[in-house]
Every structure is written in structure tokens, then in C-alpha cells.
Structure 1
Amino acid sequence: MSADHDAISNSDSTSTDAPAATDPAATDPAPASSGPDREFDVVVFGATGFVGELTAKYLADHGPTDARIALAGRSEGKLSDVRRRLGPRAADWPLIIADASSPASLDALVARTRVVCTTVGPYLKYGEALVVAAASAGTDYVDLTGEVPFVHYSINKAHETAEATGARIVHSCGFDSVPSDLGAWTLYRAISDDGAGELTDTTLIVRAMRGGISGGTIDSMRVIADEAKDSQKRRLMLNPQALSGSPAETPRAKVSSEPSDIAIVGAKSVDPSLSGTLAPFFMAAHNTRIVRRSNALLHNAYGKDFHYAETMNVGSIPGISTLTAGLVGVGTGAFLGAMSFGPVRKLLDRVLPKPGDGPSEKARENGFFVTETYTTTTTGKRYRSRIKAKGDPGYKATAVMLAESALGLALDRDRLPDHHGVLTPAVALGDVLVDRLRTAGFEIEAGPLG
């Protein structure tokens, strides 16, 4: 959920001759045009923020030398400073002045590129105009949102337009929710290849992780806490199928229809090879809905009885892991409650990371994550997928996942699945993203157990 908001202003900083903002509900969508005629392959919007600069740095160090990349934000001076820090390969990258509060500047930006890669969040506050602009222009889009209400907004406002223009609007392309989405996707691919039936109860376990929580993530949590005060929005966020429907057709699903996002789970119930107790994973409430949307967009290809949950490993010793899992569950609930309570939140704001803050380079390099996703198929066979990567999950590894998602959309168009609209990483990119991340050093595997 990492996000920056260094591309925001309370005033319109663009020239008056920029194209007017487009209302997709009021006009006929233009034909898809994000092909070779576009000036750029990828524009990084929010490049002056912490995660935005990390993403630009990855593109400068590891992107193809012939990739056409530009940096965008509202401050030319800050963009110039970032470009200078990126090294000689980025020395000639153009700078684009654009402002999240100026729809005209966003229309002008998306018209110039195949893909817009945005780290400007919280997306509920700063992302709505950009996602509509990209969909209207037929421009592919990637972000880092971990905000269910924002993705829901995007589905309602941009999905049909993006389908018509050929745009791929791809949310949650960082640690939220690529390991989750590709963990289920690679299971599906392996099981399908083996003819082993369909997925049933499926659970991701964050097996190991080292990394910090970003200021952008904290800021998004603040926005979500505020949204949850509204009873209608709270019902949306509690709906396990909140993102599985079409525009204006959110499925009415009971909370009990899917595994709980805050349950403490016996590891053996996930797979007989495991032991101990599993704790809730604090981003399950977003990631699970992205994975369920993938299955819905693929017409329940994972399985008619596919159910998905996320948990976190806290050790394998039964008594100790049960106690630890309980403490994690209580702590997670207390933290989210505190974010909703004004006086306590003011105290937390003094010590929590601020937007644009981030860990040192050493801490980012020393980070890592390992996720494992388990399922049992309709034929009774057990399968597991595993994703492992070096680098702080919310910073270095997220920058890799976001950048490779953008490059996949821009440069591997002939290999992409034929899906358009508001999509997920697995549906939009599938094996293209798996291959790119493996080349980038990720370990991604899936196969039978036992």
C-alpha cells in the first residue's frame, strides 16, 4: 500500500492550453491508442516521492536501455533533483509537470504514454481523476493501492470506459497484492496443467518477512479509518466480494461466505504438513478481495468452490504460536481502532512514519519476504505455490513489482492476456509478470505436495 503524495497541489499548476478533462459517462470513449505512436512507454507519476523515486531508480538501473521513460510530478525542481540522483541512464529522461488536483494536466500526461505508473496516494484522496483520465485515453495504468473503496470507485467509474478504449487499469501492483494474486494464479496454472481439478479452500501464509511499514501505507490507513465511519462504506469494506462485481453491481455477500480476515487459524487445517497456529495478516482485508476479483474476472476459473484467506506465520510450537497469534490479532484490531479514534490517532501520528518517509538503503537491502499459498483440489490433491524475494517488501521489492508490471504492459503487449478494464495483476499480466519477476530475481514456483 506504499504511496507518496508529492504530486499534489491545492491549485492548478498547469498551463491553460492543456486538454480539458473528459467525463467517460458523458462522451463516447476514444479508440485504444496506447501503441507505438505514444511518446513514452512509461511515465512515473509521483517520482519525487520516496517509493516513486525507488521505482524510477529501478527502471534506470534495470529497465531496457531503449525504453522511453519520463518522470512526472508537480515540481520541476524536485523532478530535476530526482533525475540527477538516478544516474547517467536517466539523464535525458523528460520531465512532465502534472498535478493530481488538475484533471487537465492529467489528461495531457496520459495522452503521451503507453503506461502511467503512479505512486501518488492515498488514492482515495488523490487518484480518482488519474484513473478516469487513463481509462478515457486508452492508456494502461498501474498503482500501489491497498484501498478497497478506491478500487470499487475505479470499477464503477472506469471499467466500462477502459474496456471500450482497450485500457488496462491494474491496481495493487506492489507487495499489496502481487504475491497474493500470483500465488493463487500460479497454483491455478499448475493444477490446470496437471489436470488435477479445481482449487477449493486456499490460504496464503506470510511465511517470513523483514521490512518496515511505509508512511504512505499509514496515510492510507488514516483514510480507510475515516471511510469506515460511514456505515455504507463500512459495509462495503466488510463485504468479502466487494470487488468481484461489475460496475454498480456489487455482490451481496455475507461476511461468513468467505474465511475471516482476522481469524486465528490452526496451521494443520491449512495443510497437514504444517504445525502451530497462524495469525491474521494485516493486509488480508484488501489482498483477499483482489484475488477474489481475479477469479471473478476469469469466470470462476480457479473453481466454483474457491475460497481464499490470508494468514501469517508466528512459529510452529503449538502453545507459543497460539499465544503469539492471539496477541497479533488483538494488536491489529487495537491499532485499527486507534486509527479511528481522534485523540489516540493524534498521539500515533507523532511517532508513525510520515508520507514520503522511508527506511535507510541498508534496511531496504536487508529486507525480504516469503509467501506460501496452499490449496486442496476437487480431486483431493494438495498443492503449494511459493514466492520469495529479497528487499524490504514495502519499498525495494514493491518498486520491483510495480516497475516490472509497468514494463510488462508497455513492452510485452503481444504476450498479454486479452483482458481490458479494471483488472488485477494476475488477470492483466499473468505469466508475463511471473516471467519478469523471475528474471528480476524473485523465486516463484508452484506444484503438488505429498
Structure 2
Amino acid sequence: MNLGELKNKTILLFGKSRAFSSEEFESQLKHHGINLVKEYSDDVLLSIDGKMMTPYEQNASDELYESKKTTSINIDIFETELAKEIDEDTLLMSLKLSHDKDRLKSFLQNTAISDNLFLRLLKLYSWNGEDFFENDDNRDVTAALISRFYENIERNHNVQYATLGLMHLVVQCKSEKLIDAIATLEPVIKSLNTTTKNANYNIVTSIATHHLTPLNVLKILIKKSNTYVKTLIALRKDCDEVMQNVLYEDGDEDVLLSLSQNSSLDKNIAKSLIKDDKYIKNIAKYITLDDELFDILVKLNKVELAQNESILHHMQEHLISLHNEDVKLALASNTHIDESTILELVSEGSLGISLAVYANIRTPKDNLESAYANPANHQALAYNESTPKEILLKLANSEDEEVLMELAKNISTPIEVLYQLQLDSRFQRAVKENSSFGKHIQTENIGWEV
């Protein structure tokens, strides 16, 4: 459908417009040079079925359709095309100059306009220092925002009328632009430095932790938010060097503690923080290692260093050569070490290290199978998600409560075993909380109580 073809032509509307207010609908038609009538005449080129049609209008529309005197379409289709032709820049300028809040609100409630135009219009809306649901206008605009972007809104039809709906919207959001828009809304900005854990505070923390939150928004949060929000940002992998330095200069102990747990921690900041014993363990365990950092940290904290997920093979070899039992045990529990390191640790002969190795998902299948021969290894094997199915089935016959409990928690445990364990009150809760079992029940939809 091309609106240009309707210029200087006449259209007939049965009922009322839906997305556009009556005044705006007529204004848009006038802008396009389209004449609007409510009764049929020979000049009518197009008839539109609107909302709230009277029985008379419905009959008249049916007769027109059957006679094929005009082309007939639904109001939703026509309004969608009308919305596509809106000159966004002209509309925005008009609204800025006129300060017509009613017209702005009308457009924000218009479901036919694009998401991009909606977000641009949202920036013009004045909340008048009040909260999202503190007055009728704010409530209507907030509801329009949530209902437009909330996934599966039809299944949660009341969510647009609660501030928590905005928090959930942020959590499920897949658009940087939307997060940016919500973060800059006046009620959110007013809540940045609050310590009251209300609904708006939950929106702020959700923005601070969302992986798509733009860096410019994070920088605003660092500048204006309270300590807790800063700790959340300090933990983000995308917290860049500039933001890390601002957080470091802040000097707050809680913020620095979070920074020390950041795997992307700037090396220079790390070197400064390790001068304080409070941060050494975290840095050794979490920072992305290079040879320089390894050489520094191996002298300060070997055990946490052995737990570091970025530890390279030659670093693992160096730690083994130290012949420190605690260090080897930490290495054996590290799910990111090389298989060759696993095999070297297996040969150590220590029971504690062996159990840690057999609970490690990195341990080769052959080693797990051979470990089954020793009952002392059964609990570790029942815990390991990489244990072969045939071993897990054998372990289901165990009379050891601890072994069975690990099986109940293990997402790799065969479903038929979980069904049996669920019948035992000792393991029922663990099975219900097992995500693999829950997913199976939902998929099969057999009415099992979970």
C-alpha cells in the first residue's frame, strides 16, 4: 500500500482510529492530502474498518466489500503505513516547540509507530519530578513502555502496571538502546544514589549488571550511584581501564574488593592492590594471568593462583614442581587445567588429590572409568558431570547416602535414576532442584509435581 497514491483522493473510515487519536489521525491525513469521509460516495477509493464499529457501519462495510466498489482494509494496516510516513525529525521539533504533552503522550501510546521513534519521543517526556506510577500520565507512559518491549506481554498482562515490570524488562532486554533509554529516565536518575531498596533501586542494579548496558551508562552510574552499584560495575569484565581507574581512585574498600575479583583488572591497578593483603587472594584467583603477573603472585599466594581459570600449562607445571600438597589440591579442583596436568596429579597417589581429580570435569573418561573400581572414589564420581552414563547407572545401586545425594544433584544423572531417587524423601528436594530433571518434566509435560 502506498499512501502517495491516495493524495487528493477520498477514503472512508468506519468506526474510529485505533493507534492514532481522532485528531492526530485527521491531522496526518491532511498532511498527506487525503480526504476523509464517514459515508460512502462514488469518490471513495478506499474503505477502512476501524475500531468500535456500530452494527450499521459493519453492515455497510460488508456490503461495500461484497460489491467490490472499493478496496477494503483493516485500520491496523492503514495506521501502520501512516506511521511509516511520519517525518520523525519534524515531529520531534514540533513537539519540542509546542510543549504539547497530551499529543506527546498520544504518540507514546501509539502502537503503530516504530520502536526507534518511541524511544526518541520518550526522551522528550517530562516526569515532573514524580515516579513512574505517581500520576495518571506517568502511569500511562510507563505502561506503554513496558507493554511495547516486554517479551510475552500477553502472558503477563498486568506487568505493565508495576514498577517491577520495568526491572524485569531490563533483565530480559536485548537492546542497548532500550537500556540506555530506561537508564536516563528521570525516576531512575533520581534513584541512583539512594540506599533504599525499593523497585527503582532494583532497576538501577539490573542496569548495572546487564551485559548489554552501554559504557556511557556505566560511567554515569559510577559517577552518580552509591557504593553497592559501584561494586557491581567493578566486577564487570567490560569495565574498561578508564572506569577501573575512577573506581580505584574512589578508594572505597568494598569497591576495591570487587575490583580485585575482576578477571580483566588492569595490571597497574593490580600491582598497587597486591600491596594490601586484603586483595592478594582475589587477584591471584581471578586476574587473567601473564608471565609477569604469575611470577609476582606465585611468591605471594600459591593456592589461589592454582585456582585461577586462566593459568597456562607451563604455570601449572611450575606449581606442581613446588611439591606443595595444598597447591596440588587446588590445581586438581581447577576445571580449566590441562589433561596432562590431571594425569600428572593422578599419579601423585594422595587420596585428597585423587578425589579432587575424579570430581573434575576435565578428567579423561578412561581415568574416571578405572577409578570406579575403588569405592572410595564413588562420591567424587557421582558428583562429576563428566562421569560416563554407565558409571552413573552403577552408582545408583550404591547404599552410600552421600553417593546417592551427589547423584540426585548431578545434571548428568540419567533421568530414570532421578525418578527413583525422587521417591526417597532424603533426596526428593535435591532432585526437584536439579535443572536437568526440571527441564525434562517441563518438556515431557507429564504432570509430575516439581
**TM-score class, shorter:** under 0.3
Q: TM-score, length-normalised on structure 1?
A: 0.23
Higher normalized contact order (CA 8 Å, seq sep 6+, divided by chain length): 1
Q: TM-score, length-normalised on structure 2?
A: 0.23
Higher strand share: 1
